[in-house]
Amino acid sequence: MLDENKVVVAMSGGVDSSLTAALLKEQGYDVIGITMQIWPSDEAPEDNEGGCCSLSAVNDARRVAHKLDIPFYVVNFQDSFEETVINNFKNEYAQARTPNPCVVCNKEIKFEAFLRKAKELGAYYMATGHYAKIERTAERNLLKRATDPKKDQTYMLYNLTQEQLEHTLFPLANYKKTKTRKLAKEYGLKRVYNKPDSQEICFIPDDDYPRFLKEHYPDIIEPGPILDLEGNKLGEHDGLPFYTIGQRKGLGLETHKRWYVVELDADNNAVIVGDNEDVFAKELIAKDLNWIATAKLTEPKEVDAKIRYNAPAAKATIYPIEDKVKVVFKEKQRAITPGQSIVFYDGDLVVGGGLIKE
């Protein structure tokens, strides 16, 4: 029997998860803190102030738990993380797609493996420091944008299932980041209240993707031709994983014309380049869909759609096609990138989302 007064907080050593634990304890919950060890300790950075995988981050989380007088554990999720997040990262790049490992981590680790661990400890709830709202109705558990649009993280959370939403708390849903830091300081969380936000992927703390791929997966990197849209060879590329749709700089082409990457052709190991207008498109196909506001999309629906985390939402109509959707934008969008997520909104409500296939 799960205890509805018990909650396990995913503590990264940052200000958001630290304040989450403090707020829940003040609200009367029986709080347990867990830091997920997801990267081999011999490869984790020792001191990465903004990161969530470093040894200093674990120590910061432990200090906060001690300050709050709550139980604290470090739980090993290394195998699961490598099997899901790291392998997906490698496989997507190997197929000339641009992955979003944070989306995969939320789906497979933070709200799947972590929730299982929380339930093993008898907790009805798990909690994180994400900025997003959960609204529970008689029909469905809904996901909505956070109060602070600058911090809203619903784009990264579109894969949450009804079961996961039922057992998740987001205490920071209505806070702005300035308020979060102010409260953390008032709670006496001295080392974390002004800690910088993590900007990079946790397992690549220096944000150097090429270095990481060269060191760990050299077999997926193969030089090949750079072609224009007519198939004329303009030069050589260093490996498809080093390029992304819309890229202009770093192509190494000896020409006065400005070329932009418009396609990564995995079948022919070719980078296809064209003019800037060739980077824009009005339609896409999305797969691996998850619906939150509805059980299934049965008819066309007008939505606001985001094709990347920092992109503004754009007006679009989505059309169900078997297990996929066709997305038609009102205006052309720049650099629609296979492998990235697309998330559909109806106002502040997250309708659902999926992966951009083509």
Residues labelled as active-site residues: 105, 202
352: left (phi over 0), alpha (psi -120 to 50) or beta: left
Tell me how many helices (H) and strands (E) the chain has.
Answer: 9, 17
Q: Is 56 annotated as a binding residue?
A: no
> What's the token pair of residue 230?
């007519």
d(CA 29, CA 222) in angstroms, rounded, equals: 53
Q: Is 16 annotated as a binding residue?
A: yes
**Cβ contact 170:119 at 8 Å:** no
Q: Is 17 annotated as a binding residue?
A: yes
Distance (Å) of CA 104 to CA 5, 175, 206, 341: 29, 25, 20, 10
Q: Is 129 annotated as a binding residue?
A: yes
Q: Is 303 annotated as a binding residue?
A: no
The conformation of residue 147, written as its DSSP 8-state character, comes to S
Q: Is 10 annotated as a binding residue?
A: yes
Looking at the DSSP assignment, which residues form a beta bridge with residue 334? 280
Looking at the DSSP assignment, which residues form a beta bridge with residue 324? 321
Q: Is 50 annotated as a binding residue?
A: no
**Cβ contact 343:306 at 8 Å:** yes
Sign of CA dihedral 295, 297, 299, 304: positive
d(CA 354, CA 19) in angstroms, rounded, equals: 31
d(CA 327, CA 59) in angstroms, rounded, equals: 45
**Cβ contact 31:25 at 8 Å:** yes
> What's the token pair of residue 332?
């052309």
Q: Is 126 annotated as a binding residue?
A: no
DSSP 3-state of 96: coil
Within 8 A by CB and 6+ apart from 87, the residues are none
Question: Of 252, 249, 250, 243, whose CA–CA distance to 272 is shortest?
Answer: 243
Which positions make up the binding site for ATP? 10-17, 36, 129
Which positions make up the binding site? 10-17, 36, 129
